[in-house]
């Protein structure tokens, strides 16, 4: 009887310790804060662009304005902007760029993405396009870990 009580105590202790282990219930596992600075220069008004940014709820830096999932037209009239989000597992940026058929050349534009993870510079990518560019796509992908 004494050994049954002893075994029951050990079993209860084992179950207690097992239930206190890491169970993945952390609400933000493997996440990071990301900031993306976007700059465009040259004849950027002569190009059609679509930029999609996914992975979190991105806001324009210094505001509470949520960034749309796809930036197009008026969203890309500014020469630069900065966006940021917390608790991002994977940041994906996709672009499609082409010279506008209603414009005349020559024309050249450059898009630059500067990516920060947890406040530290992670990457800088620049893409240059000319009047012969048609539906050119670029993809950038960054993981929190």
Structural domain spans, the chain:
29-143
Fold of domain 29-143: Lipoxygenase-1 (2.60.60)
Instruction: Look at residue 6 in the predicted model and tell me its pLDDT.
Output: 44
What are the helix and strand counts (H, E) for the chain?
1, 9
Instruction: Look at residue 16 in the predicted model and tell me its pLDDT.
Output: 40
86 burial via Cβ count (<10 Å: 0-12, 13-18, 19+): middle
Instruction: Work out the mean pLDDT of the chain and round it to a whole number.
Output: 85
pLDDT in tens, 20-76: 544 445 455 689 999 999 999 999 999 999 999 999 999 999 999 999 999 999 999
Instruction: Look at residue 104 in the predicted model and tell me its pLDDT.
Output: 86
Q: What is the DSSP string of 91-124?
A: EEEEEEEEE-TTS-S--EEEEEEEEEETTEEEEE
Give yes or no for residue 3 having a pLDDT over 70: no
C-alpha 63/C-alpha 135 separation (Å) is 32
Q: What is the pTM of this model?
A: 0.76
Q: Residue 4: pLDDT band by 50, 70, 90 thresholds?
A: very low
Which residues, at least 6 apart from 79, have a Cβ–Cβ distance to it below 8 Å?
Answer: 39, 40, 41, 44
């Amino acid at each position: 009887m004494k050994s049954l009580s002893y075994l029951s105590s050990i079993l209860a202790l084992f179950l207690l310790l097992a239930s206190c282990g890491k169970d993945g219930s952390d609400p933000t596992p493997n996440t990071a804060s990301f900031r993306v600075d976007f700059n465009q220069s040259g004849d950027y008004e002569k190009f059609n662009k679509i930029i999609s940014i996914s992975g979190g709820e991105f806001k324009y830096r210094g505001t509470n304005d949520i960034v749309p999932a796809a930036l197009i037209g008026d969203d890309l009239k500014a020469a630069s902007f900065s966006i940021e989000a917390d608790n991002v597992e994977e940041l994906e940026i996709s672009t499609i760029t082409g010279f506008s058929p209603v414009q005349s050349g020559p024309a050249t534009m450059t898009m630059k993405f500067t990516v920060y993870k947890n406040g530290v510079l992670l990457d800088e990518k620049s893409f240059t396009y000319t009047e012969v560019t048609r539906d050119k796509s670029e993809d950038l992908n960054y993981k929190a870990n």
